[in-house]
Structure 1
Amino acid sequence: MAFVETVLQIPSMVTFLGAVLFLLAVYILSFGSSSTEHGINPPGPRPLPLLGNMLIMDLKRPYRTLCELSKKYGPVFMVHFGPKKVIVLAGYKTVKDALVNQAEDFGDRDITPLFHVLNQGHGILLANGDSWKEMRRFALTNLKDFGMGKKGSEEKISEEITYLIKEFKKHEGNALDTSKPVTFAVSNIISAIVFGSRFEYTDPLFIGMVNRAKENVRLMGSASIQIYNMFPWLGPWIKNLMLIKKNIVDWKTEVMEIVRGLKETLNPQMCRGFVDSFLVRKQTLEVKRLPTKSAYQESGNTDSLYHDDNLVFSVTNLFVAGTDTTGNTLCWGLLLMAKYPHIQDKVQEEITRVIGSRQPLVEDRKNLPYTNAVIHETQRFANIVPMSIPHTTSRDITFQGYFIKKGTCVIPLLTSVLHDEGEWESPHTFNPAHFLDEQGRFIKKEAFMAFSAGRRVCLGESLARMELFLFFTSLLQRFHFSPPPGVTEDDLDLTPAVGFTLGPLPHQLCADFKCSS
């Protein structure tokens, strides 16, 4: 009887296995096709079923793998992150063509599983549609009102510089981890603009917010999170995802605590920062229903967008973005000065000759071409956001002869722009001459895309430029940076740490005080 049952089961087993093999064959053949009814697909490495090209990727530093693949497949190619198709754009001309010349087509944000966890469709950085448009517009307007990139910001930065210098002087030339005071100082600038006031470097709330922001950025670049984005059903077993979620919960609690305090002392006639402006806008819409609305409000229905989630996640986006990239860039700058003392000497000679002992001002930038070139070269060389933040196509398009379907993830490979061998004389070395002409005058380079480009260009670019110049020149004016005792310049490691953004590996430097100004 058992034998008969087994025999009866054989046809169904054969049918099942045949169906599996048939679907597998269709899957492989579909990936092997280089064209569709709409046009030609970009080239790329052949993917494995389900795994895609995962096995050839350096999951901790995927930008390196993508740069190597671009040498074989060209400036527009396709890879598969697991089952997901991703278009990679490499090189200055191609990235500019997409983000600037076809800004609308490439202007949407790709919301990965992790990005959904981080922002849930709210805020400024990781959102699309009307909510993103309104929050970005509101943020830009209000950040400018609170001095972003203007004299008001310069005054905030100059004040913060005095606190940072005191922190460095406390160590009396002994080795210190420069990343902590530098990150706190930079974070206080965006805090003053967003919350209306700075924090003490010893404030437990502030320390917790900064540390959680930095940890999440680091975890976002881990291999396990890359795997989660490919196979989100693995989420419950990924420790780093659990840590990120906990940090988000704690972050929301901390931000709402600050918001409650600001709400209790809110004066609609005298807004102190971005949060105050948001609260006033929100309260106005709650208690006052205007009989007439602007055309934009009618078409976009913006009233409903001013809620607590958009407030919390917008504040989070501004705080994290305003802390991490600028802080990392300054840390790279100090490390590079210690690594290349002859460059540091030239910067300090120029600062002494042009400024002397007074506090540097933004207007000094035009008279400090070499210092300005060193700052730009630090941004280029450090390559802080190597893969940008992924975009997605807003419609079906044909780009440089290839068909790209609406909703396809697109990675503008910024590292391939900042290290483009056709644009930079020595792209893989630290060379301030990239931004100087033969007479030593500063020159702008179109391939300098450290802030990305197009619709998603960094909204805090003007503030970041001001911070980098004022913090860097003020620190180099007063301190000489060198390796700690027993460490040579050659020993200083320029390998970036693993993370969504690229900061230097943990290190210490000595900051020897130069003058009493």
Structure 2
Amino acid sequence: MFPWALRHLPGPHQEIFRYQKAVRGFICQEIIRNKLRAPEAPKNFISCYLAQITKAMDDPVSTFNEENLIQVVIDLFLGGIDTTATTLHWALIYMVQYRAVQEEVQQELDAVLGAAQAICYKDRERLPYTHAVLHEVQRLSSVVAVGAVRQCMTSTCVCGYPVPKGTIILPNLASVLYDPECWETPRQFNPRHFLDKDGNFMPNKAFLPFSAGHRMCPGDQLARMELFLMFATLLKTFRFQLPEGSPGLRLEYIFGGTLQPQPQEICAVPRLSSTCPGTREEGL
């Protein structure tokens, strides 16, 4: 009833407020850095938003201001941290479970990128198998099985069923991601779900990990970029395997806000270990 009182009460929740203050401080520094840059075409989200603030200065009903900018950046940062990290956890687990898939991804990365150190998002167009594997990770792990709660604002009809105004709606994303009418092997890890007969990347309309429509995840493009860049960089740099004596992987998920994998150890072996003496396995 009195959420403002939480800031004045002792307890572990105070740590959240400290983190929030640190994040706001970082964002404010980035805003100042963008303001001090020489005038030029906007190159990032903050500079674009600052340009909109300037354009809307004479609009009395404009919502473009620095406080809203801070909140939007916080939403973009925090909204995808858990889901992005969890998806990458599942990706590494699947790469250990399906060694042949891991090797094929690394062969494609080596053949297309060679010794190039940096991977850019545009490279996904030249890496159809890597792109397909990451999509299959997102599909099968279904990190957010149920989408965000929505409310129907007007009475409507969906597939012949009446949906009255005010109805609370929970989109079941997993029902689409595992639909046997949309996927050849819905309960199996199969990157071919996203490849045509010639090995080219092929999108699927039933791929909805970010939900759909006007109320889908606003950070989906950011998440796609983060996932591809981190996944491709990890697979290009390391070979992932179980440590010696491991009883095997546990693929059962932990149900919570997201579907988390079980805690377990995986070794990241530098792929240049055979030519670079002194390298060692790193536990994840």
Same fold (TM over 0.5): yes
User: C-alpha separation between the residues in 2 aligned to 1:416 and 1:454?
Assistant: 17
- Where do 5+ consecutive residues of structure 2 fail to align? 277-284
Compute the displacement of 1:402 (Å): 2.6
Report 1:333-344 matches (<5 A).
Answer: 333-344=91-102
Report 1:86-235 matches (<5 A).
Answer: none
Q: Identify the residue that residue 244 of structure 2 maps to in structure 1.
A: 485
> Which amino acid is the alignment partner of residue 348 of structure 1?
Q
Report 1:218-297 matches (<5 A).
Answer: 246=14, 248-258=16-26, 261=29, 267=35, 270=38, 274=45, 290=58, 293=59
User: Contact 2:254–2:262 (CA<8 Å) still a contact in 1?
Assistant: yes
Compute the displacement of 1:278 (Å): 5.7
User: Contact 2:28–2:70 (CA<8 Å) still a contact in 1?
Assistant: no
1:267 is paired with a residue whose SS is helix
> Which amino acid is the alignment partner of residue 26 of structure 2?
I
User: Contact 1:262–1:276 (CA<8 Å) still a contact in 2?
Assistant: no
Compute the displacement of 1:434 (Å): 1.2
User: Contact 1:347–1:370 (CA<8 Å) still a contact in 2?
Assistant: yes
Compute the displacement of 1:325 (Å): 2.1
User: Contact 1:395–1:405 (CA<8 Å) still a contact in 2?
Assistant: yes
Q: Please tell me whether Structure 1 or Structure 2 has the larger radius of gyration of its CA atoms.
A: 1
Q: Identify the residue that residue 169 of structure 2 maps to in structure 1.
A: 410
Q: Identify the residue that residue 351 of structure 1 maps to in structure 2.
A: 109
Q: 1:67-125: CA deviations, max 9, x gaps?
A: xxxxxxxxxxxxxxxxxxxxxxxxxxxxxxxxxxxxxxxxxxxxxx9xxx7xx9xxxxx
Compute the displacement of 1:361 (Å): 3.9
Q: 1:375-418: CA deviations, max 9, x gaps?
A: 11011011111101111111122323332222221111101111
Q: Identify the residue that residue 328 of structure 1 maps to in structure 2.
A: 86
User: C-alpha separation between the residues in 2 aligned to 1:394 and 1:319?
Assistant: 29
Q: 1:436 aligns with which of 195, 201, 224?
A: 195
Compute the displacement of 1:318 (Å): 1.0
1:412 is paired with a residue whose SS is coil
User: C-alpha separation between the residues in 2 aligned to 1:347 and 1:263?
Assistant: 38
Q: 1:513 aligns with which of 251, 270, 281?
A: 270
User: Contact 1:328–1:503 (CA<8 Å) still a contact in 2?
Assistant: yes
> Which amino acid is the alignment partner of residue 338 of structure 1?
V
User: Contact 2:196–2:202 (CA<8 Å) still a contact in 1?
Assistant: yes
> Which amino acid is the alignment partner of residue 62 of structure 2?
T
Please give the root-mean-square deviation of Cα atoms over the aligned residues, in Å. Answer: 3.3
User: Contact 1:252–1:312 (CA<8 Å) still a contact in 2?
Assistant: no
User: Contact 2:34–2:46 (CA<8 Å) still a contact in 1?
Assistant: no
> Which amino acid is the alignment partner of residue 380 of structure 1?
R
Q: Identify the residue that residue 65 of structure 2 maps to in structure 1.
A: 306
Structure with more contact order per residue of length (Cα contacts < 8 Å, sep ≥ 6): 1
Q: 2:257 aligns with which of 500, 503, 508?
A: 500
The number of residue pairs the alignment matches comes to 264
- Where do 5+ consecutive residues of structure 1 fail to align? 1-112, 121-235, 237-241
- Give TM-score, length-normalised by structure 1: 0.45
Q: 1:246 to 1:455 in 2, by over 3 A?
A: farther
User: Contact 1:255–1:312 (CA<8 Å) still a contact in 2?
Assistant: no
Compute the displacement of 1:447 (Å): 0.5
User: C-alpha separation between the residues in 2 aligned to 1:311 and 1:450?
Assistant: 26
Q: 1:279 to 1:374 in 2, by over 3 A?
A: closer
Q: 1:340 to 1:260 in 2, by over 3 A?
A: closer
Q: 1:396 to 1:374 in 2, by over 3 A?
A: same
> Which amino acid is the alignment partner of residue 328 of structure 1?
T
User: Contact 2:27–2:73 (CA<8 Å) still a contact in 1?
Assistant: no
Compute the displacement of 1:259 (Å): 5.0
Higher helix share: 1
Q: Identify the residue that residue 364 of structure 1 maps to in structure 2.
A: 123
- Give TM-score, length-normalised by structure 2: 0.78
1:511 is paired with a residue whose SS is strand
Give the 4+ runs in structure 1 shifted more than 6 A: 263-266, 279-285
Query: Quick one: percent identity of the two aligned structures?
Result: 36
Q: 1:269 to 1:329 in 2, by over 3 A?
A: same
User: C-alpha separation between the residues in 2 aligned to 1:369 and 1:260?
Assistant: 38
User: C-alpha separation between the residues in 2 aligned to 1:401 and 1:457?
Assistant: 23
